[in-house]
Structure 1
Amino acid sequence: MSDEQDRQDKRQEAMEWVGKAYQLHMKNEVAKAISLYTKSIEICPTAEAYTFRGWARSFEKDYASAIEDCHRAIDLDPEFGNPYNDIGAYYVEQGEPDEAIPWLRMALKAKRYESYCFPHFNLGRVYEAKGQLDKALEHFRHALDENPRYILAAKAVERVKGKLAAQNPETIR
């Protein structure tokens, strides 16, 4: 077997463990999921395994470890958008919105990313928290454009429109 084939086989096995871990994660069996994400990393480190292990760690409010895992993911695959968004979201959760902004912007520029609605939504959260309601509304609308079924974004659009209307009742948006 060639070295390349061996690498491909290990990556495939590692990604199978990521899939198993993700299933546990979705059942809220976080500790077991973290264990399987770690097993995947031991077989073959991938951006996906590090990112999802970080996400699982965030469920335990271990944001420092979650951010560290995301940095490892970025080192492995700088084009993978998820870890940038996740770092931004973890900063938002820790009450550090200004720290989140550059990471969320990098997520929007990532070439390998399927869910641009999330960094837009998180930027909306940042700007809403900062009282920059026009910017918040813009990003919440972008999130909804990216994913019209994103209920949290739809609710956020309505909430921010209500806040803007309360500030300036004669303006209809």
Structure 2
Amino acid sequence: MKKSREDMTSVQEILLSELTQARSYVERILHAVCELSDTHLTPKARVVIQEFSAEYEKLVCELIIPSHFGELNLIHQDNFRQGRENLRIMNNFIESFVALGPKNDEEVVGAITRLINLVYKYTRELHLVLIEKSSLDVATPRMGLLKAIDIKEKKEVIKPHAVIKKGPFTLIEGGRVDEIDEDEFEDEASLNPPLYFLETLEILNLAHAKTAPILGMNAKREEKYEQNISQAHVLVSKKDLAGALELFEKARGHKETAEVLTLMAWVNSQMGNNEEAKSLCLKAIEIDPEYGAPYNDLGTLLLNEGHINESIKWYELAKKAPKYTNREYPYINAGRAYMQLNNFDKAMEEFEVALKLVPENQELRHTVSKIRASVLKEEDNTTKRGFQKFKVDFSDNQGDNDNQPTQ
């Protein structure tokens, strides 16, 4: 059956929207890897990048680019920044390919979906390396048409060697194996990003439904939203808060979400506009009561104003929110609040939970170690005064929400 122009347009718009979202995610991860951490120096990250580039090039050539186009390389001599630029050029080419509107939309959807799924596969691997090697937080994609699979990572463990007697012979069993400890990794799995993927059939069904024109408009809004959010993250990393706020406002104009309102609140708080920040947090909670970040941000604003007990109430709500990637934040901030109340035992409990959630956070580990050492040393007023030295403002490197622009 011949496809109508409306069908073709909606297919293109959906694909371009999903390409933009996948592209924004990988660019956020690569920006964090290259600019905000030393992750790019680790062999594991280099292996992931090399495998990603090789497989991505191969698939692009197979599905889109004719063989006479020439040899492509997304990475040059392990140069991450050059690889990022080449990836950007490649993605521009793919988006242009989609926008030209090839005749067979089923083939196009299948090809682009495979490319997007490959991007998500390797971006997740880089995200895991980033989590392992740094305390940086990177915003994950919004779901939309995406599906997600939570994967428990296998870890290498050493089994104790069992000595078994068999007549005159001695057998030794055990050694190095990969296994998953369900109890130990239950919390860890919830913190790791899931594996995101798209289904070709679902895109086609949606594109050819009666709601296709509306879906096409939504896809355009989603694409603009993603672009504004991604560009705003870059501006905040460059300390251009006013420019970032303007872009977040534009994103809000395309789609008002709890996420963008919380991001706007965070930027306003950094600019000293605390009342506006609190108002935006409350609006975000109204839109999505299950989103944890604005509860935590509101608590921090109140804590900074000296309303300590009130801030703790908001941190408790943040802990219970179903949608919260960085669950350590409200525990860290609640620990800060309890220290200001001189309730050091309770503060330690909060910090210990946070440390369990992010064991790789060296600053937090160092602070907790100092506090613990002081507790063991003495229990008098000198100790209490000593605690004041260990108050740490985590806002600079922890952030107050899941999608802090600096990450």
Common fold by TM > 0.5: yes
Query: Equivalents in 1 of 2:287, 2:226: separation in Å?
Result: 15
Q: Does structure 2 retain, via aligned residues, the 8 Å contact 1:15–1:40?
A: yes
Partner of 1:51: 262
Verify: 1:168 aligned to 2:379, yes or no.
yes
CA distance in 2, matches of 1:129, 1:15: 39
Say if 2:246 is the partner of 1:35.
Answer: yes
Could you tell me the TM-score, scaled by structure 2's length?
0.40
Between the aligned partners of 1:31 and 1:167, the Cα distance in structure 2 is: 48
- The structure 2 residue matched to 1:158, chosen from 357, 369, 377, is 369
Q: CA deviation at 1:22?
A: 1.5
Deviations 1:20-46 (A, max 9, x none): 111211221111111101111111111
Cα distance in structure 2, aligned partners of 1:100 and 1:160 = 22
The structure showing larger relative contact order (alpha-carbon pairs under 8 Å, at least 6 residues apart) is 2
Verify the 8 A CA contact 1:140 1:156 in the aligned structure 2: no
What code does the residue aligned with 2:263 have? F
Q: Which residue of 1 aligns with 2:360?
A: 149
Q: 1:63 is matched with which residue: 264, 274, 278? A: 274
State the alpha-carbon separation in 2 of the partners of residues 151 and 55 from structure 1. Answer: 24
- Aligned-partner residue type, residue 239 of structure 2: N
The SS at the match of 1:80 is coil
Shift of 1:106: 0.8
1:108 corresponds to 2:308: no
Deviation at 1:48, TM superposition (A): 1.0
Which structure is larger by alpha-carbon Rg, 1 or 2?
2
3-state SS of paired residue (1:91): helix
Q: Is 1:10 aligned to residue 215 of structure 2?
A: no
* 1:25 and 2:236 are equivalent in the alignment: yes
Query: Which residue number corresponds to residue 95 of structure 1?
Result: 306
1:8 CA drift (Å): 4.5
What secondary structure does 2:346 align onto?
helix
Structure 2: which 5+ residue stretches go unaligned?
1-211, 381-407
**Percent of residue pairs identical:** 28
Q: Which structure: greater helix fraction?
A: 1
Q: Determine the C-alpha separation between the residues in 2 that align with 1:43 and 1:13.
A: 7
> Which sections of structure 1, spanning at least 5 residues, go unmatched?
none
Following superposition, the deviation at residue 139 of structure 1 comes to 0.5
Give the distance between the partners of 1:12 and 1:109, measured in 2 at CA.
31
Please tell me the root mean square deviation across aligned C-alpha atoms, in Å.
1.8
Q: Which moved more, 1:156-165 or 1:86-95?
A: 156-165
